[in-house]
Amino acid sequence: MKAALQPSAAVLLDDQKQAVQQACQRIAPAWPLDQMIAVNPWWELRDRSLAETSALLAALARAHCLMPKDYFAELWSHQIQRHHLQQAARLLGETASVDDLLTHLRVPERQSHWHNVSDWLDSHRDRQHRMAWRDEITYQISQFCVGFFQPGGPFNADANAEQGLYRDWLEVTRQDRGLEILMAEPKLRSQFAALPDEHEELLAQAFDELAGDQVYLADYLHALLLDINGWASWVAYRRWQARLDGQTEYGLMVELLAVRLGWELALWRHCAAMHTAEARHLRSEWQQQWTRLPQIIDSHRQAQRLTWVWQRAAELSYQEELHTQLRQPPPYVAPTPPVLQAAFCIDVRSEPMRRALEAQHPAIETLGFAGFFGLPLEYQPVGSALQRPQLPGLLKPTIQIAEGDDPGAAVGEHRQKHLNRLARWQELNDAPPATFSLIEATGLRYAFKLLKDSFIPGAHRHPVNDLPQSGSWLLSRDGAPLTLAEKTELAAGILGAMGLTKNFAPLVLLVGHGSQSRNNPHAAGLDCGACGGQTGEINVRVLAQLLNEPTLRESMSKQGIIIPEQTRFVAALHNTTTDDIDCFDAKVSEQLSGWLKAAGQRVRQERAAKLDLHTNKQANLTQSIRRRAGDWSQVRPEWGLANNACFIVAPRLRTRHLDFAGRSFLHDYEWRQDQDFKVLELIMTAPMVVTHWINMQYNASVSDNLKYGSGNKVLHNVVGGNLGVFEGNGGDLRIGLPLQCLHNGRQWMHQPLRLSVYLAAPREAIADIVERHEAVAQLINHDWLYVFQWDIEAKKIAKYYKSKWHDAGVSISTASTR
């Protein structure tokens, strides 16, 4: 490690390039607000165990993957029992007694952490009279990124630019005369003037002057990215999309890293030039820290060992109750032809609605399937240049759709006019000279609007989502309309994956879902994640159109899928905020309307307590919930997928009698109908991963809302149209879920438990799929989720772990990583 000298031209070594790539690869993506889906923020760290990830993040960034000790002390009072702790300790290879584990909860945490250069300088800075370097660095980089990434931003005219971030930041920073004044550091700008113009040379110079043992270089760079994790996650999203488009190289994350490292190098040199004594002390501490990094990480690993026993005990207590449920035999029901079949999304909010609908008639059948209904769609609304994916973020759309016929054209014309008005209004808002005159001119109008929204709340839809109530949809691929053969292959594949290829009811509901709220930047996070953070309306309407086409049915009949002529497919939408189900494109019978209304009332009654709505009158409850959905000041319109805990893949007939309390993702599956287990493979590599993402998004947002959640919704300011939010007027871009989606003001509404997956399929098939898919094996073997085989006939449940089967509830002889 060298003292600060005037640098000569430097080049990156191969091992340094590798360290850069390793650090950049560790950041998971975060989708924009208008396409917000749940993501495991530690997804790119799945090659190591969750316990190792937890220790690493705690050491590098003071991040938390575990709940605090007082949380587990509370669980001890009403949920976790002695035998849960004893079993958890055995499973994790710990010899601690229950008394030892209780004592552990009273021991305060005193581990040391990694400090970046800016952190070391802050530790010696007069914080009462001077701003912290960490705060200013985050603020400055964050404000620059807004200008760079927002459409039409001042720092980069091309919002889709994939390079130039470092050069633009350097130019802006060199011209910022306020930095020296704000930070009370004369001559600071000269250090930015001396930084190289190219980001690769900056990296090389910084490594030459700052880096200690190259083995730990990736960890240091990772720590820097975690300082600006929100923007790093946004860049990771851009990288994710580029990879879906076939790009193998994506350098914007490296440039963002160079920006953060540029601050480190500038401060290192500035300290050496202006504060000689402090620089000597800094250099000594910095060198010692590099040699101690392995010990720092290990100290966190050791400190968390017994806390992981508590976490495992909490999961065992839930699994124990669930296993008791699953072993209950279903009551005998004489087989009768179905009067109604309703296919729902696997979303946990569908589970109470499915129970409620099934309770209306013994011959009503419900199914669980991925909410995008197997359609890899990209929607381009008529009258708009928008192209919006309607499928999981894991996948790339391959089919384009748009409205057709006269209703679609009329809606498109109305939509275009509305969007043009919004665009002109936004231009006025963005014009600085017009700000005060605009307020003067429109103040009274907005006062009326505020009063109206406060006392007469109503529904609000963006013009892009204002779809025609009837009409056809145009499907194309690469600019050409889908052929009958392509439609047949698509529809037959979907019905096969749903397990719906025979015994059709006269009426089949295809039920997508969406939420309803006002003044909510995170509204997309309450919609269907499988539809890319949109409602499932488009997907179910397109699928209903396909399955009702006579020529398509005739074509599918040649493949053995015979749909009776009297069977109708009807698209519907489940409003998860109000629990109303609305049907599209068809007149429904009074009987069906009555069933749907009664089911909605039953679910609303079930949800009332969680929403703090206590009334014995159903009409008052319905009115209160609907008013809540239209209230622009309501910060908790619904609880979304909070408290999700398991994913059950099995025939609905085997779970119909069970109440999973809205905590279970339910996917219908009958392994005897699955030739070569292709459907099981699809479920384990797509829906299982998506449910894991959802589960971990909620877990992370609870365990560390500061780093992996978006804080207080009341303080949010939307950034760059839809890039994300700030909490207040600055700081890092906030990712994850707001506190109000997780906490009711008194307690957490989500309990962080790793997802428990139950597969009603042969052990050999499950094991074969796991061994052939590295990502799935990593999730299981590195303790990111649990996979169980549910043998329905034998009433046995076994856990699959590291290529072996173990009876659930029996200790595993080989200790798992914590």
Residue numbers in the known binding site are 345, 347, 513, 528
CA-to-CA dists, residue 117 to 25, 29, 121, 231, 269, angstroms: 22, 26, 6, 20, 11
What is the distance between the alpha carbons of residues 584 and 571, in angstroms, rounded to a whole number? 5
What is the distance between the alpha carbons of residues 542 and 227, in angstroms, rounded to a whole number? 44
What is the distance between the alpha carbons of residues 267 and 280, in angstroms, rounded to a whole number? 14
The answer to whether 183 and 130 are in contact (CB under 8 A) is yes
What is the distance between the alpha carbons of residues 303 and 55, in angstroms, rounded to a whole number? 9
Pull the structure tokens for residue 381.
């609304």
What's 349's DSSP letter? T
CA-to-CA dists, residue 637 to 35, 500, 577, 816, angstroms: 19, 34, 7, 40
What is the distance between the alpha carbons of residues 723 and 228, in angstroms, rounded to a whole number? 15
**Phi, psi for residue 278 in degrees, rounded to 5:** -65, -35
| Helices marked H in 327-404 | 350-358
Strand partners, 648: 666, 758
CA-to-CA dists, residue 323 to 327, 591, 643, 755, 808, angstroms: 6, 37, 18, 14, 9
What is the distance between the alpha carbons of residues 648 and 657, in angstroms, rounded to a whole number? 14
Pull the structure tokens for residue 391.
């499928």
The answer to whether 135 and 244 are in contact (CB under 8 A) is no
Place of tokens 């052929």: 483
Shortest CA distance to 564 belongs to which of 613, 605, 504, 648?
504
Binding residues for Zn(2+): 345, 347, 513, 528
210-245 b/e (C-beta count within 10 Å ≥ 16 → b): bbbeeebbbbbbbbbbbbbbbbbbbbbbbbbbeeee
| Helices marked H in 132-251 | 133-149, 165-174, 178-183, 188-193, 199-210, 217-227, 229-244
Helix axes 229-244, 133-149, angle to 10 degrees: 30
What is the distance between the alpha carbons of residues 814 and 437, in angstroms, rounded to a whole number? 72
Strand partners, 700: none
What's 478's DSSP letter? T
Shortest CA distance to 606 belongs to which of 324, 354, 364, 322?
354
